Structure 1
Amino acid sequence: MKISIQNLQLKYGSFTAIENLNLDIEDGEALVLLGQSGCGKTSTMRCIAGLEEPTSGRIIIDDVVVFDSEKGINLPPNKRNVGMVFQSYAVWPHMTVAQNVAYSLKQKKLSKSEIDERVMEALTLVGLEPYADRGASLLSGGQMQRVALARSLVMRPSVLMLDEPLSNLDARLRDRLRVELREIQLQLGLTCVYVTHDQHEAFALADRIALLQGGRIVQMGAPQHMYEAPASASIAHFLGVSNIMDCTPEGTAAGSTTARIANSELTVQSAQLASDAGTSPKVCIRAEDLQITAMPTEHPNSWPGTVRVAGFQGNDIRYAIQLESGPELDALGGLRRGEQHKVGDRVWVTVNPREVQILPAEVLA
């Protein structure tokens, strides 16, 4: 089902949670609302579901106007055919898995045969069919989250909304359930709205990502595009870019820009032109794009430094490297590339100009 949000605004007194938001979500699309706490992502989802009444604007689901401030339309949640999965499992411990999933269907007074059929269908989708008769209090956290998902899927919603559903789980289980959620969404062709503050979760689940700051969408696009081309330094930082430095562009030649890092003698070459970086440009370099060697190279961006911290991370080592003529850089060395160095080692740090971005501090209005 397609969702259209037009000029949506939500205020709590003098505080504006959502500011003039416009968004179209295509039929069968998985859209992730990504952002820090308080950016308006959960409020946006709750407005779509009918759990929050916007101050103004219009929301259309499958060509049905479910909210229109000017016409006084505000359909209740049960009239919107929207399924919700929350951060809290809200599983009844005194019921079995099947009874938890069947509860809403019983409230609709469906026949027992239809309830049984739909419950088993939902449990099979989430991999809980063998646990149908198990007491919910005996489930693990991951299994409880699957029950919560099945409870929404059993209603056969046109739109599935998930509000940080994996945040209470351990890292390995989160990784596995991300894949399972994506498989279910693709298998059913569900239009899906997913709220998270975790960029890795967003990259894994989304067809498109809408990144919110201060109640407005500051960038939208496919995961790979968002990763490779953040619109501002603040977005790059949120998406995991750890080396962000104030700079002054000094000139452009042969399709590249030279910039001087603030409060240092370090100059950096970028293959990107800095004409759109505004009045507060910043150099942004990902830790994984830095190459670390024991000997100097002849690349334009190659600087000597000393290893201050080396943290083992399995296949990688995370380094803090203090440059001799500049700032400290965060770098990720690959053990398989032979990039293994000790604290106190003198090294050379190199980055390709294509991997250096010069961005405005914030999205230009």
Structure 2
Amino acid sequence: MKITIENLQLRYGKFTAIENMDLEIGDHESVVLLGKSGCGKTSTMRCIAGLEEPTAGRITIGDTVVFDAARGINVPPNKRNVGMVFQSYAVWPHMTVFENVGYSLKLQKLPKAEIKQRVHEVLELVGLESFASRGASLLSGGQMQRVALARSLVMRPDVLLLDEPLSNLDARLRDRLRIELREIQLQLGLTTVYVTHDQQEAFALADRIALMQDGVIVQMEEPSAMYTQPASSSIAHFLGVSNVLPATSRTSGDFALGDGAVSISATGRRPAPGATDLSACIRSEDIRLSREGAAGVNSWPGIVRVASFQGSSIRYAVELPGGTHLDVLAPLAAGVRHSVGESLWVTVDPTAVQVLPQTAVDPAVNTAVAA
């Protein structure tokens, strides 16, 4: 079921949570709203669900207008056929798994045979068919989250909304449930909107990612494009690029880092002529360290200041001339380890350097249309 948002605004007094948003989510598409706390992603989801009344704009689900400020339309949440899974499980501990999942169907006074069939179908889908008679208070966190998901799916919603549902789980369980959620979304062909501040979660679950800052969508791309081509240095930093260094243009393709003691060549994405407030963005894994080298394009002498073992890799903090520091991630499989205080050479391919502006778009522009 397609979702269309037009000129959406949400204000609380003088504070603007969402500003002039236009967003189209295609039928069967999974869109992740990504951003730090307070950027407006959960507010956007709550407006779709009908849990918040926008200040202005229009929201259409399928062919039905569920909100239109100008026409005074505001369809209540229970009439929108939208399922929502919250960060808190909200599982009733005094009920069994079956009773938790089937409760909303019972309120609709559906026949017992139909309730039984639908509950067992969805419990099988989420891997809890053998837990139907177990008390909810005896479940693990991951099992409770599956119950919460099943409770939404059993209603056969047109749209499924998920608000950071995995944030309370441990890292390994989160990784596993991400894959399971994606499999369920693809299997059922659901239109899904997922809210998170975790970029890895966004990459794993999205057909497209809408990255939000200050109530505005600043970039919307497929995950691979978002990862390789962030639109601004602030987006690159949020997406895990740890080397975001102030840069000043010298000549075409050449930039000075920091106070100018280090020059860097960039043949990756570069700013338009005359652009200001620039940063050179380099991923840690794109930097190479060696004991032997020579001065050349993007090759500098450095000193290891910190070495941190991280299992499959080692993270180094390396100081360059003039005091510029680089974060370097070296695979353990490379077989070379450097010690604190060691002098070495630091090299990065010019194609791996992107020089980006601080901000991505004019704040007045907030449009993202389905591909």
Q: Is TM > 0.5 for Structure 1 vs Structure 2?
A: yes
Q: Which residue of 1 aligns with 2:365?
A: none
Offset at residue 324 of structure 1 (A): 2.9
Q: What CA distance in whole angstroms lies between the structure 1 residues aligned with 2:356 and 2:212?
A: 18
Offset at residue 310 of structure 1 (A): 1.0
Amino acid of the structure 1 residue aligned with 2:65: V
Aligned length: 361
Amino acid of the structure 1 residue aligned with 2:240: G
Q: What CA distance in whole angstroms lies between the structure 2 residues aligned with 1:80 and 1:139?
A: 31
Contact 2:250 2:256 (8 Å CA) reproduced: yes
Amino acid of the structure 2 residue aligned with 1:236: A
Question: Relative to structure 2, which stretch is displaced further, 326-335 or 273-282?
Answer: 273-282
Offset at residue 299 of structure 1 (A): 5.0
Q: Which residue of 1 aligns with 2:276?
A: 279
The SS at the match of 2:95 is coil
| C-alpha distance 259-326 of structure 1, shift in aligned 2 (>3 A) | farther
Amino acid of the structure 2 residue aligned with 1:78: N
Match of 2:310 among 305, 309, 313: 313
Q: What CA distance in whole angstroms lies between the structure 2 residues aligned with 1:16 and 1:238?
A: 22
Contact 1:302 1:351 (8 Å CA) reproduced: yes
Contact 2:218 2:361 (8 Å CA) reproduced: no
Q: Which residue of 2 aligns with 1:97?
A: 97
Offset at residue 149 of structure 1 (A): 0.3
Match of 1:353 among 344, 350, 353: 350
Q: Which residue of 2 aligns with 1:293?
A: 290
Q: Which residue of 2 aligns with 1:171?
A: 171
Amino acid of the structure 1 residue aligned with 2:288: Q
Q: What CA distance in whole angstroms lies between the structure 2 residues aligned with 1:137 and 1:340?
A: 49
Q: Which residue of 2 aligns with 1:251?
A: 251
Q: Which residue of 1 aligns with 2:367?
A: none
Q: What CA distance in whole angstroms lies between the structure 2 residues aligned with 1:190 and 1:355?
A: 37
Offset at residue 22 of structure 1 (A): 0.3
Note the 1:253-268 alignment, pairs <5 A.
257-268=253-264
Q: Which residue of 1 aligns with 2:334?
A: 337
| C-alpha distance 337-299 of structure 1, shift in aligned 2 (>3 A) | farther
| C-alpha distance 299-172 of structure 1, shift in aligned 2 (>3 A) | farther
CA deviation string 1:124-153 (max 9, x = no partner): 111001111111111110000000000000
Q: Is 1:226 the equivalent of 2:226? A: yes
Question: Relative to structure 2, which stretch is displaced further, 333-342 or 290-299?
Answer: 290-299
Q: What CA distance in whole angstroms lies between the structure 1 residues aligned with 2:134 and 2:103?
A: 15
Q: Which residue of 1 aligns with 2:31?
A: 31
Offset at residue 90 of structure 1 (A): 0.4
Offset at residue 71 of structure 1 (A): 0.5
Q: Is 1:18 the equivalent of 2:14? A: no
Offset at residue 264 of structure 1 (A): 3.8
Q: What CA distance in whole angstroms lies between the structure 1 residues aligned with 2:274 and 2:322?
A: 24
Q: Unaligned regions of 5+ residues in structure 2, if any?
A: 363-371
Contact 2:126 2:146 (8 Å CA) reproduced: yes
Q: What CA distance in whole angstroms lies between the structure 2 residues aligned with 1:34 and 1:56?
A: 23
Match of 1:323 among 320, 324, 327: 320
Offset at residue 338 of structure 1 (A): 2.6
| C-alpha distance 339-57 of structure 1, shift in aligned 2 (>3 A) | farther
The SS at the match of 1:11 is strand
The TM-score with structure 1 as length reference comes to 0.97
Q: Which residue of 2 aligns with 1:270?
A: 266
Q: Which residue of 2 aligns with 1:58?
A: 58
Amino acid of the structure 1 residue aligned with 2:138: L
Note the 1:209-224 alignment, pairs <5 A.
209-224=209-224
The SS at the match of 1:236 is helix
Runs of 4+ in structure 1 displaced over 3 angstroms?
none
Offset at residue 341 of structure 1 (A): 1.2
Amino acid of the structure 2 residue aligned with 1:45: M
CA deviation string 1:52-76 (max 9, x = no partner): 0000000000110000001100000
Q: Is 1:241 the equivalent of 2:271? A: no
Contact 2:262 2:321 (8 Å CA) reproduced: no
Q: CA RMSD in A?
A: 1.1
Amino acid of the structure 1 residue aligned with 2:233: A
CA deviation string 1:6-60 (max 9, x = no partner): 0000000111100000000000000000001000000000000001000000000
